[in-house]
Structure 1
């Protein structure tokens, strides 16, 4: 009998291409949210930037692992308060104060602008004003204070960056983008974010919360409450004052969610 010709699986090239695209999307998310250099060559496209959003919680978990490990190492030499100040400083350096910058710009815009146009103009200004300075100082001080009150500081440092990065995904999915796309670096991330990838991000974060439940009972419930409350209250504020969200507003939502979650963990 003559040998049969081999048949290649037609789905194999597509699977490999999809896996390669997801790998690049992960690195693109890492480079977008942190100062970590991308170690692979990225074939940048609008679609790839859209897909990278699903990896925000994973990037948060990796950052949390760095913070928790750093805190454990520093605890051998310093008091918890000093360790936390050092960890927060490392966080600001590693992320380039990405979300904190969004918080400051958002507070300056909402506090100092009386029209939508004026608020958006202030938000694009790189200078920081009184409202932004006060909000930033209070947020950082409250973060350290809440971490000091948690029963497991290392666990809080590990999981809060992961879970807090779900809130901007909810806002991106449920609201309209209002900033000029030519002047914002967050527009490519926001555009075309699918419902399926949002659910994938939620599933990943839920698994993280469930895995931590033995050390933090009720974490899944507290996380859902924190994310839902911030998304609703902050989203409502943005809808009333801007008509939608901006990149800075997304960053502020991460800070707010972290504070709300840490507050729940202290109860």
Structure 2
């Protein structure tokens, strides 16, 4: 149990802006990839404050759209926009007509381009709108949707990291130590199980079908594009995976919960 707690704390120190517990880093350095099964747990923890904020604002009489905007923006702040940054860089690199080498160079550029800006705006707007649709059905549905999507998307991120080789040897994701296939699948199982635990009260047993389907489509599509265009994954593409799978899971939940 202590090992799991330390793994979660180490993963949380990298994936969020939550306070770092230095005791978790005592002893020999541990590659982040080894902590990949804890990624979904970090998702649950970081999504808890936004979920509570959403519920509180809805109970205070705020509209679902406004409450969802505050909740999603808090989630972005708690993660330091880490995954959003990856999505923007990935969009800039992949949506042009650049070859593999040029695409990787674009993704390393700290400046944001047109494709990146559009991707960030679209992703933020979709997340807010989808959470608002779910929250419009019930306060509980909206509050539970946030940790469900956060957990399953971070499990998918770990799975992609383990499933594809590094497209940028020496890059951040490569230096962090790629997870083993077993670690990737464990992360997926933890994320999927957590999402179902939070999702069944929202959409009933139907949640076993539609949200996993939409999430799987997003994951497989991104994996195929990355394999074809880059020959593997980078740290930025892992962030893009988290964002796309989160949106896809929320889409599945929204289709189940809205009339």
1:211-235, Cα deviation, whole Å (9 max, x unpaired): 2313322223334323322221101
Cross-structure match for 1:11: none
Matches within 5 A, 1:70-219: 70-75=53-58, 76-150=60-134, 151=137, 152-181=141-170, 184-191=171-178, 193-212=179-198, 213-217=200-204, 218-219=206-207
CA separation of 1:154 and 1:92: change in aligned 2, threshold 3 A: same
| Contact 2:92 2:113 (8 Å CA) reproduced | yes
CA separation of 1:210 and 1:21: change in aligned 2, threshold 3 A: closer
| Pairwise CA distance, 1:158 | 2.5
CA RMSD of aligned residues (A): 2.0
1:59 equivalenced with 2:45 (yes/no): no
CA separation of 1:203 and 1:194: change in aligned 2, threshold 3 A: same
| Contact 2:17 2:79 (8 Å CA) reproduced | yes
1:37 equivalenced with 2:25 (yes/no): no
CA separation of 1:125 and 1:173: change in aligned 2, threshold 3 A: same
| Contact 2:55 2:142 (8 Å CA) reproduced | no
Give the structure-1-normalised TM-score: 0.84
| Pairwise CA distance, 1:190 | 4.6
CA separation of 1:104 and 1:30: change in aligned 2, threshold 3 A: same
Q: How many residue pairs align between the two structures?
A: 246
Cross-structure match for 1:15: none
**Which of 2, 8, 11 is residue 26 of structure 1 equivalent to?**
8
| Contact 2:167 2:233 (8 Å CA) reproduced | yes
1:236 equivalenced with 2:220 (yes/no): no
In 2, the alpha carbon distance for the partners of 1:109 and 1:209 equals: 31
| Pairwise CA distance, 1:196 | 3.0
Q: Would you tell me which structure has more helix in proportion to its own residues? A: 2
Structure 1 gap ranges (5+): 1-18
CA separation of 1:116 and 1:207: change in aligned 2, threshold 3 A: closer
Structure 2 gap ranges (5+): none
| Contact 1:209 1:219 (8 Å CA) reproduced | no
Give the structure-2-normalised TM-score: 0.87
